Structure 1
Amino acid sequence: MDKTRFLYPRASYHGDLKLENLVFNANLQEFAQRVTFLSCLETSGKISSLEAYEQINALWEKLKQSRHELGIQ
Structure 2
Amino acid sequence: MASKDDFLYPRSRYYGQVQPKNLVFNANLQEFSQRISYICNLETGGKIPPAEAYKQIKLLWKELKRSKKQLQIGNKDIL
Q: Aligning the two structures, in what range does the TM-score lie when normalised by the shorter sequence?
A: over 0.9
Structure having the higher helix fraction is 1
Q: Which has the higher contact order (CA 8 A, sep 6+)?
A: 1
TM-score, normalised relative to structure 2: 0.90
Fraction of identical pairs, as percent: 53
TM-score, normalised relative to structure 1: 0.97
Gaps of 5+ in 1: none
Gaps of 5+ in 2: 75-79
- Note the aligned Cα RMSD (angstroms): 0.6
Give the count of matched residue pairs.
73
Instruction: Indicate the residue corresponding to 1:63 in structure 2.
Output: 64
Per-residue CA distance 1:3-38 (angstroms, 9 max, x = gap): 211110000100000000000000000000000000
List structure 1 segments (4+ residues) > 6 angstroms apart after TM superposition. Answer: none
